Amino acid sequence: MSVGVSVRPFDVARVRADFPILAQKIYGRDLVFLDSAASAQKPRAVIAAMTEAMERQYANVHRGIYWLSERATEAYENARDAAARLLKAYDRSEIVFTRNSTEAINLVAHSYGRGVLRPGQAVVISEMEHHANIVPWQMLRDAHGIDLRVAPITDSGEIDLVSLARLLEDGRVGLVALTHMSNVLGTCTPARRLAALAHAHGAKLLLDGSQAIVHRIVDVQEIDCDFYVFTGHKLYGPTGIGVLWARHELLEQMPPFLGGGDMISSVSFARSEWAAVPHKFEAGTPPIVEAIGLATAIAYVEALGYEAIAAHETTLVDHALSRLSSIPGLRIFGHAQDRGGVVSFALEGAHSHDIATLLDRQGIAVRAGHHCAEPLMQRLGVESTARASFGLYTTKDEIDALAEGIDRVREFFA
């Protein structure tokens, strides 16, 4: 199935017109949505593709010997092609659909962690990981005798590469699992260098691309990483679908994660044979409609072009940093050289929740809290931050509205 995504030069006004939700008023004011890093809004093309899939092409996949099921299977498998193209996978069979990034990381922690890593080996994460890239490794540590090591970050919010290298020195590290872009600090990590460093010490590299894929072109071959995960709903796609990419030979080595239908080639009560990669990892009826939505979201982003998107976001981040840093009493967390469209901050005299509530009443949606990164909050010495994050549809005017909104918050609490 194909839903028309027309190619045109990047034009924020046109992009905004593609997102029905942005036309809404909140408390009688224009919605200023600055929480895309938590979950992005959906373009009409995605909504339409999912509706059409259910209205015209819906049936279970890989099972029916009839027209509808064949169409649905084709659309679902086309989504695998879209994800493979997006990440520049070596082969389409390296794309495993999951529910989200969290499930993709759990899949690796479970299958690669227990099936391939041996007790006594180590996994390295960093101080700026999302809980999704911390907790599965702690569970692996406790269940399987894996040593969990944490690479520190520098005060500017970048991975401390010298310390990371030291953690790898004893050769016991089997896997390095790091964010490709921090959801709190906006830091983009040096993926190619991380891969080279991990490989030089005999370790594999997993990148959590939940945030990075929204802002950056990702080429897993060029990066030379071993696992890459992302989640559909942050990339303007639906909830309920995520992607694990892994090198084919790794997927071959890994035992299945969940058991059930669709992941076997034969079953008897004595034993079952696993289906081939990637189906071995897709037990049960998959998120069919969501996969179709994700494929459309990918096509939408590709049509706009990552270069144009990145240029737009760089303008937004520069503008935000300069506007916000001139507000007295405002502290910005994270000053990485290479960063994406996320800015976390604290304001003297006003807690992040109070900031969020007061901004909300001005129609401005920001996130406040620990952003599922409590260890990072400890590293920063705070309980929570406020965070503004940007998407395709964010405008400079909205950032001005944020800056003016924060000024009013200051006056309110002065």
Ligand X SMILES: Cc1ncc(COP(=O)(O)O)c(C=O)c1O
Summarize as ranges the residues that interact with another protein (CB under 8 A).
349-354, 357-358, 361-362, 368-370, 374, 377, 383-384, 408, 412-413
Is residue 225 annotated as part of the catalytic site, yes or no?
A: no
Kindly state the smallest distance separating residue 405's Cβ from another protein, in Å: 9
Closest to 57 measured CA to CA, from 79, 40, 86, 85: 79
Kindly state the smallest distance separating residue 55's Cβ from another protein, in Å: 35
Picked from another protein, ligand X, none, the partner binding residue 189 (CB below 5 to 8 A depending on kind) is none
Nearer to ligand X, 18 or 129 (CB): 129
Picked from ligand X, another protein, none, the partner binding residue 413 (CB below 5 to 8 A depending on kind) is another protein
Kindly state the smallest distance separating residue 23's Cβ from ligand X, in Å: 26
Q: Could you tell me which residues are beta bridge partners of residue 227?
A: 206, 246
Ranges within 357-376 binding ligand X (CB under 6 A): 372
Query: Residue 130 interacts with ligand X (CB under 6 A)?
Result: yes
Note whether 386 and 367 are within 8 A (CB): yes
Nearer to another protein, 45 or 350 (CB): 350
Q: Annotated catalytic residue: which of 372, 382, 400, 413?
A: 372
What character string, x for contact with ligand X (CB under 6 A) and - otherwise, covers 231-270? x---------------------------------------
Q: Mark the segment that binds ligand X (CB under 6 A) among 71-79, 203-211, 303-311, 317-325.
A: 203-211
Nearer to ligand X, 57 or 385 (CB): 385
Tokens of residue 59, six digits: 């049936």
Q: What is the largest CA-CA distance in the chain?
A: 72
Picked from ligand X, another protein, none, the partner binding residue 102 (CB below 5 to 8 A depending on kind) is ligand X
Q: CA–CA separation, 369 vs 295, rounded Å?
A: 32
Q: Could you tell me which residues are beta bridge partners of residue 350?
A: 347
Ranges within 173-192 binding ligand X (CB under 6 A): 179, 183
Picked from ligand X, another protein, none, the partner binding residue 210 (CB below 5 to 8 A depending on kind) is ligand X
Q: Is the peptide bond before 136 cis (omega within 30 degrees of 0)?
A: no
Query: Residue 296 interacts with ligand X (CB under 6 A)?
Result: no
Q: Could you tell me which residues are beta bridge partners of residue 148?
A: 123
Nearer to ligand X, 210 or 384 (CB): 210
| Strand arrangement of the beta sheet that strand 367-369 belongs to | 330-333, 342-347, 385-389, 367-369
Note whether 309 and 389 are within 8 A (CB): no
Picked from ligand X, another protein, none, the partner binding residue 122 (CB below 5 to 8 A depending on kind) is none
Q: CA–CA separation, 252 vs 24, rounded Å?
A: 48
Closest to 98 measured CA to CA, from 264, 236, 257: 257
Q: Mark the segment that binds ligand X (CB under 6 A) among 128-136, 250-258, 267-275, 293-301.
A: 128-136
Q: CA–CA separation, 133 vs 148, rounded Å?
A: 12
Kindly state the smallest distance separating residue 187's Cβ from another protein, in Å: 21
Kindly state the smallest distance separating residue 389's Cβ from another protein, in Å: 18
Rg, the chain, Cα only: 22
Note whether 187 and 212 are within 8 A (CB): no
Q: CA–CA separation, 161 vs 264, rounded Å?
A: 42
What is the full DSSP assignment across 392-404? TT--HHHHHHHHH
Q: Mark the segment that binds ligand X (CB under 6 A) among 23-31, 66-74, 99-107, 116-124.
A: 99-107
Where are the extended beta strands (E) located within 84-197? Answer: 95-98, 122-126, 147-151, 173-179
Q: What are the residues whose beta carbons fall under 8 Å from the beta carbon of 17, sequence distance 6 or more?
A: none
Nearer to another protein, 335 or 370 (CB): 370
What are the backbone angles phi and psi of residue 19, rounded to the nearest 5°?
-110, 100
Picked from another protein, ligand X, none, the partner binding residue 187 (CB below 5 to 8 A depending on kind) is none
The residues binding ligand X (CB under 6 A) are: 100-102, 130, 132-133, 179, 183, 208, 210-211, 231, 372
Active site residues: 372
